[in-house]
Structure formats: structure tokens, C-alpha cells
Amino acid sequence: MTLPLLPDDPQLIGRYRLLGRLGQGGQGVVYLAEADDLGRVALKRLIAGTLDELADRRAQVRFKREVVALRQLNEKCTAPILDWDLDADPPYLVSVYVPGRSLHELVAGDGAVRPLRRDELEGLAVRTITALSAVHRKGIMHRDIKPKNILIGRDSRPRIIDFGVAKMLNSDTQSREIFGTPAFMSPEQHRNDRVKTKTDIYSWALTILFAAGGYDPESGKSDVNRVGDPLRGMLEACLAEDQEKRPSAHELHWQMTKAGIARAHGASEEWTAVSAMPSGGTAAGHTRRLLATPWYLRPYLPIPVSVGVTTALTTLAFVLLDAGAEKVLPAAVGLFVVTLMLFSIGTDPAHHSQVRQGRGRPRKPIPPPPG
């Protein structure tokens, strides 16, 4: 919902004409704006000058961090960034305007909680975990997953927004600041312990529970029984006290795929488009990750290929047997080794598609934003 501009709001920021307010947080104000060449956009302007100097510097660092994160993400994950000026006073960034409402507004916008139906909830779960997996594969940890940061567009697609407190996983910087929204923070965030991507998984589970009417942010009470299986079991695992015991976003997507949830909501095809390799990743690195996966969790070669290879190997075995008994043992050993290799090497649909589309090659690193 767009609100009128306040009396002290500017009419123009850079080349963008402001039309109204879309929202405000602790770090900045988001405006509906327009430009002649881009049409309507969302413009986020950093709130500056109201904090002490140290707090202002920290806010600027977080603002730059958001620009870096948004530049790396697919449009199916979030609202893509279009423009920014980190040297402006105050700095601002411009992203695609996605008309819609936040998940919080959708479920409890007027104070009355309206839980999503089962099919709506499953669609929300698989699409948000698809996006979150892509975020994590880019080496980004959001740290503030909550209903207000899930934007539901008119196309019903959920997008993760507000990367202002996101952290790059390859960053060596440590901070004693506690980031996140208390009602949706993980136990390790509350303790100010070192956090990993599975911190986002805990917050994601609470967000899905909220959408099901099974979590009250005010009291902190939750009830996973408001969610049906198989999603309920997944959420229970995500809410483990120890972050090491929680599944990753990639594992959750795989579980939803096996359960038929992903296909039912068109997220199987979407996974191919969203799940690009991390910056600097390679197809070889992807294969190494697969080989480290237990055999019973791996997807396998297509059935026609497997049948063809098996037939060829069987024929070869009979030929070698006719050649003489002294060659049987080496042939048997060779067949055994080749069979194990075929059994071990699998790939997921996303990797097949990436290779077909030429996306299995290393990517150039994205340079940092100016400023």
C-alpha cells in the first residue's frame, strides 16, 4: 500500500520523482518513485543525520552491504537492483517495484490472523526455500527472515527483500551487534553466538508457522501441529536448538521435491532458473558436493542411460569370459569399479540444465559497488 509523502519528504532524489511512501524501517525509507526511462521503481533512502556518527557509519556499511547482495541475486529471489548512489547525501538504492503486500500484511494486516490454506502454505514454503537456497549458494546470509521481509507480488510469487543486515559468508569481519528481529531470531542470534546460514532456516520456519497461524510473535508461542505432514516434520527439524542439526535450504528443497510439493507448485522448473552456482563455483565443485552426499540421497542418471550402459557392460563381460578364465578376475574387478562410479555420480535437474545452458563454467567475480 502506498502512503502519501510527508511534508518533510523530498520531491526529487537524484533523477527520481517521488510519488509516495511504501514503508519505513530503522535504516531507511522506501518510496514509490519514477524515472522517464525506468517507469515506476522502489527507491530506498538511507536515514542519516538522526544518529550519532558511529551509528551513521555502521548504517552506511549495512547499506553498501545490501547493494552488494542485491547485485548478485536472481529476479525470482528478490526485487532486482537497478541503480544506486552510495556517494549521495544521503545514499539511496533503486530496485524493481513489485506491487503487492508483505506476508505479514497478507496474514495479519488488520490485526486478525488469517492463516493460509494448506496448498497456499506449501506453495509459500517451497518458493521461499527455493529463493533462500539461491541466496545461500551465493554466499549470502540474510539474518532477518520474517513475514515483513517476504513480499508477495500480484503474481503470487514470494520474494525475499531487505538485505540491509545480510552478511557475506566470505567476510572475516566480526561484530558484537545483534542483528535481526527478536521474535524471529534463532537461539544463537539471541545468545550473540557465531551464526551460519542455518540461522536463516530457523527464522524461515517461524515465518512459515506464522503464515499457518501456528506462531504468535507477541508471546513467542508456537504450534507445529497447525501444519500438516510432510511439511510439519520439516519445520520441526528446522526449529532444532542446535543449528548444526537443522537441514540446509538445499536439503529442504530436495525433501519437498521428493514429497511432490515442489512439482505441485511449479517449483521444480523454477529451481533451475533460481539456483545458479555461487560466484567462483565450478561444475567440478558441484560434483564433489554430490559425491560427498550419501548414496541414498543422490539423484541418479536418467533411466535410459543407465539401462544402456548396463547392457553394454554385460555384453563386454560375456566377451571377456569367452577370452579365457585367466581374464575373468580382472574383468570382474573392472566391471565392479565402473558400476560403483556410475552409482556414485549423479546430478540434480538444476545441474543438467546449467550444463545445457552453458552455466556450468566459472563465473567472473562481481566487483564491489562504488563508494
Instruction: Tell me the three state secondary structure of residue 78.
Output: coil
pLDDT for 228: 95
Domain count along the chain? 3
CB 34 within 8 A of CB 48: no
Q: Which of 144, 162, 200, 348 is catalytic?
A: 144
Domain boundary among 41, 65, 96: 96
Residue 354 placed within a domain: no
Asked if residue 32 and residue 180 are part of one domain, the reply reads no
Please tell me whether residues 266 and 145 are part of one structural domain. Answer: yes
The Cα–Cα gap between 289 and 284 comes to: 9
The residue written with cell numbers 507480488 in the block is: 153
Give the domain range for residue 305: 300-345
By the 8 A CB rule, do 321 and 331 touch?
yes
Residue-level pLDDT at 258? 94
Residues 146 and 238 in one domain: yes
Catalytic-residue membership of 144: yes
Residue 357 lies in a domain: no
- Quick one: which of 275, 255, 267, 262 has its CA closest to 350? 275
Task: Enter the pTM of the model.
Answer: 0.70
Q: Which three cell numbers stand for residue 324?
A: 579365457
Whole-angstrom distance, CA of residue 243 vs CA of residue 265: 28
Asked if 103 contacts 152 with a C-beta cutoff of 8 angstroms, the reply is yes
Query: What order of strands is seen across the sheet that includes strand 92-96?
Result: 12-13, 16-24, 28-35, 39-46, 92-96, 81-85
6 Cβ neighbours under 8 A, 6+ residues apart? 21
Pair 265, 162 in one domain: yes
Same domain, 41 and 110: no
Planar angle of CA 18, 99, 218, nearest 5 degrees: 100
- Residue at a domain's end among 46, 62, 96: 96
For every one of its 371 residues, what pLDDT tens digit does the chain have, with 9 covering 90 and above? 789 999 999 999 999 999 999 988 767 899 999 999 999 999 999 876 555 555 667 777 878 888 888 888 878 889 999 999 988 888 999 999 999 999 999 999 888 889 999 999 999 999 999 999 999 998 899 999 999 999 999 888 999 998 877 776 665 444 446 678 999 999 999 999 999 999 999 999 999 999 999 999 999 999 999 999 999 999 999 999 999 999 999 999 999 999 999 887 765 555 444 544 333 333 333 333 333 344 444 444 455 555 565 566 666 656 556 666 555 556 655 666 555 555 544 444 433 333 333 333 333 343 444 43
Q: Note whether 113 and 130 are same-domain residues.
A: yes
Q: Dihedral (C-alpha) 218, 222, 223, 224: value to the nearest 10 degrees?
A: 130
Q: Same structural domain for residues 160 and 231? A: yes
CATH number at residue 157: 1.10.510.10
Pick the last residue of a domain from 96, 123, 140. Answer: 96
What is the 8-class DSSP label of residue 215?
Answer: B
**Are residues 105 and 78 located together in one domain of the fold?**
no
